[in-house]
Amino acid sequence: MSQIAIDKPTADPSSNVPPKRKKRDIPYSMRVQGWDALWIVLFLAPFVLLYGGFTLWPLIATVMYSFYDWNGVGPLTDYVGLQNYIEIAESPSFWNAFFNTLVFATVNTIIKLPLSLFIAVLLTQRWMWAKRIWRTVFFAPLVIPVALAGLMFDFLLNTRGALNDVLLNLGILERPIDFLGTPDTALVTLILISVWQIFGQYMIYWMAALQNVPETVYEAADMDGANGWQKLIYVTLPMIRPVAVIILFLSFVNALKVFGLVAATTEGGPGQSTYVVSYFIYNQAFRDLPFRYGYASAAAVLFGVTVLLAVSAQGYFVRKVGQEGN
Amino acid sequence: MAQQAREPRIGFLRRYFRSGRYFWLNLTLLVILLVVSFFWLYPFLWVIFSSLKTQRDMFTSGARLLPDEVWEWGNYNRAWTEANFNVYFMNTVIYASAATAIEVVKSSMCGYVLARYRFFGRRFLYGIILATLFIPIASIIIPQFNLVRSLGLLNTRFGVILALSGGAGALYVLLFTSFFSTIPEELFDSAKIDGAGFLQTFLLVLPLARPIIGTVVIFQFMSTWNEFNIPLVFTLSRPELRNLAVGMYAFQGEYSVDWTGFAAGTAMSIIPVLLVFFIFQGYFVRGLQGAVKQ
């Protein structure tokens, strides 16, 4: 009797571990038959071609260009080996841009994710009033082109702008501050503007994650007598942890690509206090004469590889700690 | 029976006014959120009201919103014609609609095949698409620029559209893939038994993916409408091909005095995207919801 009871769960087809699928077990509808092969090629072609051309190839080409001295015109002939990398590694303005970009992405993520999670939790509560309106409000800044948002804040935050007007009238400031024109405040200001801009997107990500937690889990928690707060801490947050890791990475990687905002407001200044890597690349490749594609590419690769290593090391340690915790 | 049919309406009212348990909490939050959203939306209000001010008024008004003298509707006129705003506007509409349409078609087709068929290289393709989402290279615009140039499409509308729709899409394919793999196999089996061909089956299940399509339309339309880097670099020598973001940016450089015209232009450029969001927002969260599951 007990033997049967023990055996039963493993025989249950709905158990968590799916049986390993052999080739002939592929469902009828998923098998490729007759003309299907041609259709599959046809269906994949548009995406694969465009993706190959505009995402994969550029990644490979960037690595390739980085070994050449090249101004963007004519064939790649001047192979210089690691020369570009050596020059980059010795360039203080690159490392400054590197550091600024990391600070930008890190602080941006640290401010943005918890706040947007908080708002998302609030806006998915059933008892909450007028959720649609608030959702639209927090989403709204996303619809302003980032370059225009930059110009707008340029105006709002200068010495005669609205913010200084308010702060002076309230007596908080004695003299106006040019928030984007002062080295000490420029980067922080940019970070806050970009949080404001992108907030809605991450709020939507969190809302999607939160609404995916099955209702039955909450019912079970209700039966155990959990209150709203306990449900959030002990049920919701652990349930969305896998998605949270993805959101965290997306946020960080996307923040590293900051360009339009910097181009529209500070152009890297004052001095080099808001100089970021993508703006450095743009300057080297398209603005400062002579154009140096190879050099700019080396900057892109060096930055990408360093960050990737740092992030994967971090991911590795986080996972390790997580496993030990269990 | 009749009483049950009326039930939802009573439930709706009850939710707002009779649930005393959350009444005061809601009221408190309402006040807080009203204050927060005033500051949150202040830049919008500022732009809209500035577009109705005179130059002098705009520079002296500080944080005040309402125009003090006359309401200057002429700003819109000036931005629309003198600043080439009409040209930029049409370009942006063309870029954003074309890139969004291409994106929906190609990523739904690719996602469908990835979800439904087991073929050689499937896992590899899926893995590559996933991996490139997380590659932190700050800029790949140089090779993109070279590719478009070697295709002879530099400084053409088609070149910009190609780059806009080619660079994005990894996330969208993953959304479609995970959606299509939630459709029960039995549906495909019976379609196959009924004699539906490949294309017929695809067109049969595509409408089911409406939430994903809505999500892709919103995200892609928004990002191409706002795109700055690609149109900037790809139309450097043809100003008449600029989109709104680049055009307005240049506008500020060329006519640095005309800030109210700039505000009017910005206000006009916001409206279409807000419309897209309002139309598709119902699908939006649902679409992402299905996708996160995998």
DSSP string for B30-51: HHHHHHHHHHHHHHHHHHHHHT
Q: What are the sequence ranges of the domains in chain B?
A: 2-76, 78-292
A192 contact residues in B (CB cutoff 8 A): none
B54, B69 contact by CB (below 8 A): yes
State the smallest CA–CA distance between residue B101 and chain A in angstroms.
Answer: 13
Q: Do A308 and B63 touch (CB under 8 A)?
A: no
Percentage of chain B modeled with pLDDT above 70 = 82
Counting every residue written for chain B, the total comes to 294
- Percentage of chain A with pLDDT > 90? 13
- For residue range B118-141, list pLDDT tens digits in order: 888 888 998 888 888 777 665 677
Confidence grade of residue B8 (pLDDT, cut at 50, 70, 90)? very low
From A236, A250, A143, A258, select the one nearest A202 (Cα to Cα). A250
What mean pLDDT comes out for the span A171-182?
A: 80
- Which of A32, A143, A147 is closest, CB to CB, to B249? A147
Please indicate whether, in this complex, the C-beta atoms of B142 and A72 are within 8 angstroms of each other. Answer: yes
- Which has the closest alpha carbon to B142: A293, A288, A292? A293
- Mean pLDDT for A97-114 is 93
Query: Mind giving me the DSSP string for B124-163?
Result: HHHHHHHHHTT---S--HHHHHHHHHHTT-TTSHHHHHHH
Contact at CB, A278 and B139, closer than 8 angstroms: yes
Distance, in angstroms, between A4 CA and closest chain B CA? 32
A266: phi then psi, degrees, rounded to nearest 5: -105, -15
Nearest CB to B134: which of A155, A161, A249? A249
Pinpoint the alpha helices (H) of A71-182.
83-89, 92-122, 131-139, 146-156, 162-169
Residue with tokens 């695809």: B202
The span from the CA of A131 to the CA of A127, in Å, is 10
Interchain CB distance below 8 Å, B142 and A297? yes
Residue among A46, A127, A212 whose CB faces B109 most closely: A46
Residue B163 near chain A (CB below 8 Å):
yes
In the block, tokens 């603005």 appear at A287
Q: Is A264 in Cβ contact with B289 (below 8 Å)?
A: no
Residue A5 maps to a domain? no
Interface of B with A in 214-253 (CB under 8 A): 222, 225-229, 233, 236, 244-246, 248-249, 252
Contact B140 A293 (CB under 8 A): no
Query: What is the arithmetic mean of pLDDT over A11-19?
Result: 47
- Which of B16, B107, B197 faces A129 most closely, judged by CB atoms? B16
Residues of B in contact with A263 (CB under 8 A): 228, 249
Residue A3 has pLDDT above 60, yes or no: no
C-alpha angle B250-B252-B254 in degrees, rounded to nearest 5? 70
Give A32-38's long-range contacts (Cβ < 8 A, gap of 24+).
A32/B117, A32/B118, A32/B119, A35/B197, A35/B198, A36/B117, A36/B198, A37/B119
B99 in reach of chain A (CB within 8 A): no
Partners of B291 on chain A (C-beta within 8 Å) are 208
The span from the CA of B195 to the CA of B173, in Å, is 27
The pLDDT of residue B50 is above 70: yes
In terms of Cα–Cα distance, which of A268, A132, A139 is closest to A196? A139
- Residue whose C-alpha is closest to residue B91's, from B211, B260, B204, B246: B246
- Kind plus residue range of the DSSP H or E element containing B63: none
Task: Please tell me the total count of domains within chain A.
Answer: 1
- Best mutation target, B58, B110, B137, to test chain A (most A CBs within 10 A): B137
Q: Which residues pair with A68 in a beta bridge?
A: A79
Residue B10, classified by CB atoms within 10 Å of its CB into exposed (0-12), middle (13-18) or buried (19+), is: exposed
Instruction: Compute the distance between CA of residue B154 and CA of residue A71 in angstroms, rounded to an integer.
Output: 17
Rounded CA gap, B223 and B227, in Å?
Answer: 6
In angstroms, the CA B188 to CA B115 distance is: 12
Q: Which of B91, B41, B80, B67 is nearest to B258 (CA)?
A: B80
pLDDT at A173 over 80: no
Banded pLDDT at A21 (limits 50, 70, 90) = low
The answer, yes or no, to whether residue A152 has pLDDT greater than 80, is yes
Q: How confident is the model at residue A194 (pLDDT cuts 50, 70, 90)?
A: very high
Polymer length of chain A: 326
DSSP character at residue A79: B
Q: Which residues of B touch A277 (CB under 8 A)?
A: 138-139
CA distance B234 to B166: 14
For A202, the domain range is: 91-325
pLDDT band at residue B17 under the 50/70/90 scheme: low
Specify the CATH class of B78-292 in words: mainly alpha
Q: Read off the CATH number of the domain in which A165 is found.
A: 1.10.3720.10
Contact B138 A135 (CB under 8 A): no
Q: Are B217 and B280 in contact (CB under 8 A)?
A: yes
Whole-number Å distance between alpha carbons of A150 and A146: 6
SS3 B15: helix
Strand partners, A79: A68
Q: Is residue A17 part of a domain?
A: no
Confidence (pTM): 0.78
How many whole angstroms separate alpha carbon A144 and alpha carbon A180?
Answer: 19
Q: Is residue A45 part of a domain?
A: no
- What is the share, in percent, of chain A residues with pLDDT greater than 70? 88
In DSSP terms, B26 is beta-bridged to none
**Residue A47 contacts residue B107 (beta carbons within 8 Å):** yes
Structure tokens given for B155: 């400084």
ipTM above 0.90, yes or no: no
Alpha-carbon distance of B212 to B180, in angstroms, equals 10
Q: Please name the residue that has the structure tokens 């360093």.
A: A306
Q: Do A145 and B284 touch (CB under 8 A)?
A: no
Task: Tell me: pLDDT of A222 over 70.
Answer: yes
